Amino acid sequence: MKATAESPARLEALLREQAALRRVATLVAQDAEPARIFASVCEEVGCVLGVTTTNLLRYEDDGTASIVGAWGAKGAPLVPIASQPLPLDGNTVAPRIHRSGRTVRIDDFDGLEDELALRVRALGIRSAVGAPIIVAGRLWGAVIASDARAYHLPIDAEPRISNFAQLITDALANTDAREQLAASRARILKAGDEERRRLGRDLHDGAQQRLVSAIISLQLAQKRWSRDPDRARGHVDDALGDAQAAIGELRELAAGIHPSVLTDRGLPAALETLASRSPVPVELDAELDGRLPMSVETTAYFVVAEALTNVGKHARASRVSVGVRVAGEQLEIEVLDDGAGGADASAGTGLSGLADRVSALRGALDVSSPPGRGTRIHARISLN
C-alpha cells in the first residue's frame, strides 16, 4: 500500500519538474534577457527541489564569485543580487564546483570553518547542492540550491539541478552568439566605412588629381593650338602622361578591391601572383579542379594576401607554405610559416576582419601562433 501511495506523488512531482523545465526552456527559446532567465531558474529550482533558497553564481577572473540570480521562500534567508563578492577558497559548494567543474552536494555544513561557510551558516543555511554552468568549454558559474535544514535535500537532487544548469548554458550560449554576431556586424560596417574613406582619399589624392591636371593641359592646348602649336603639343603630351598615370593608379586601386587576375584566370593564378610578390619564399599548393563561386575565391584570395602580408611584416620567417584544397563541401586554406609566432588575431583589424568575412560564408578562421614556433592560419569556407 505504501508503494501505491508513493507512486502518484512521485509522478506528480515529476510532472511539476517537467513543467518547470518547459517554462525555463520557453524563455530560453524566446531569447529572453539573461536576468529574467536567471530569476526564473532560481525560483523553479527552489520550488522543484523544495529548498528554502536558490542562487545563481558567476565565477569572476579575480578568484571570487558574484551572485547574478536569487530566490528565497517566504521568510527564508536570501543572499541578494549584487551583494559583496563571495570568496572561493573554502569547502562549501561554490568553491568545490569552481575547483572541480562538477556537481557538488553537502548535506550538513557543520564542521566547515572557512569564511564562506561561516557566512552561509550565519544566514541559517545548513545544506546545499550545486551544478556547474559551462559555456563554450569554460566554467562560467553555478546554480546552487540551499536549505535551512541538514540532510533535507532530495536523494536525486544532483541530476535534477543539472537539468536546469543545462538550460542556463543554452541561454548563455544564445546570448554569446547574439553578441558575437552583433560585434561581427559592427566590425564589418566599420571596415566598410573605413574602406570607403580610404578609396575616397586614394581617388582624390591620386587618379582624380591626375585627371584634373590632364584636363587643364588639354584646355591650355586648345587655347594655344592655333597661335603656338609647339607649346600646345607639349600640353597634349603632359595630358597624355597624366592620363596614363591615372589609369595605372586606378588599376592598382582596383586590384586592391578585386584583382583582375582572379576574375580572368581563377584562384590558383591569383595566388601565384601573390606568392611571386612575397618577400619571403612561398611554397604554393593550390591545385583546384575548375572555378569556385566568386565569393569563395575572393575570400580565399584575401585570406592568403593578409597572411602573406603579416609574414612579410612581422614574422621574421625564412619560408612559408600555402595550401588550398577542396575537402567535401568546403574550401580549406592553410598558411604556415616558420617565424617568431606570437600573432594575436584579436589585436588588429586585419585578421578579425577576415574572420568576419569567412564567417559570413558559413566558415571559420583559426589562428595558432605559439611564441617561437611559427604561425598557422587555417580557414574553412563553405562552397554552398
pLDDT in tens, 164-209: 888 777 766 665 555 555 555 556 556 555 656 666 665 655 566 6
* Contacts of 330 by beta carbon, 8 Å cutoff, 6+ apart: 363, 380, 381, 382, 383
Same domain, 92 and 111: yes
Number of folded domains that form the chain = 3
Residue with grid cell 547574478, as numbered in its chain: 68
Residue 107, sorted as left (phi over 0), alpha (psi -120 to 50) or beta, turns out to be: alpha
Residue 7 domain-assigned (yes or no): no
Residue 249 domain-assigned (yes or no): yes
**What's the rounded Cα separation, in Å, for the pair 119 and 125?**
9
Residue with grid cell 545548513, as numbered in its chain: 126
> What's the CATH number where 306 sits?
3.30.565.10
Same domain, 167 and 272: no
The whole-number pLDDT of residue 98 equals 93
The whole-number pLDDT of residue 192 equals 57
Q: Identify the domain containing residue 346 by its residue range.
A: 260-382
Residue 345 domain-assigned (yes or no): yes
Residue 362 domain-assigned (yes or no): yes
> What's the CATH number where 158 sits?
3.30.450.40
Same domain, 245 and 117: no
- pLDDT, tens digit, 9 for 90 and up, residues 5-34: 456 766 666 677 677 767 777 766 666 777
Same domain, 211 and 298: no
Same domain, 95 and 243: no
Residue 215 domain-assigned (yes or no): yes
Same domain, 248 and 309: no
Residue 190 domain-assigned (yes or no): no
The whole-number pLDDT of residue 189 equals 54
Residue 120 domain-assigned (yes or no): yes
Same domain, 175 and 89: yes
- pLDDT, tens digit, 9 for 90 and up, residues 256-267: 556 777 878 889
Tell which residue, 82, 69, 60, 80, has the closest CA to residue 37: 69
* Contacts of 329 by beta carbon, 8 Å cutoff, 6+ apart: 382, 383, 384
CB 379 within 8 A of CB 358: yes
The whole-number pLDDT of residue 103 equals 92
Q: Please classify residue 224 by burial: count the beta carbons closer than 10 Å to its beta carbon, then call 0-12 exposed, 13-18 middle and 19+ buried.
A: middle
Tell which residue, 293, 214, 294, has the closest CA to residue 250: 214
Strands in 376-382's sheet, in edge-to-edge order, are: 282-285, 320-327, 330-337, 376-382, 364-368
Residue 151 domain-assigned (yes or no): yes
Same domain, 175 and 47: yes
Same domain, 48 and 150: yes
Which segments of the chain have a pLDDT < 50? Answer: 1-5
Boundary of a domain, candidates 257, 286, 316: 257
Same domain, 265 and 253: no
**What's the rounded Cα separation, in Å, for the pair 69 and 92?**
18
Boundary of a domain, candidates 132, 162, 180: 180
Cell numbers at 254, concatenated: 582596383
CB 160 within 8 A of CB 17: yes
Q: Give pTM, 2 decimals.
A: 0.47
The whole-number pLDDT of residue 4 equals 46
**What's the rounded Cα separation, in Å, for the pair 98 and 96?**
5
322: β partners: 284, 335
Same domain, 331 and 347: yes
**What's the rounded Cα separation, in Å, for the pair 65 and 60?**
6
Same domain, 247 and 304: no
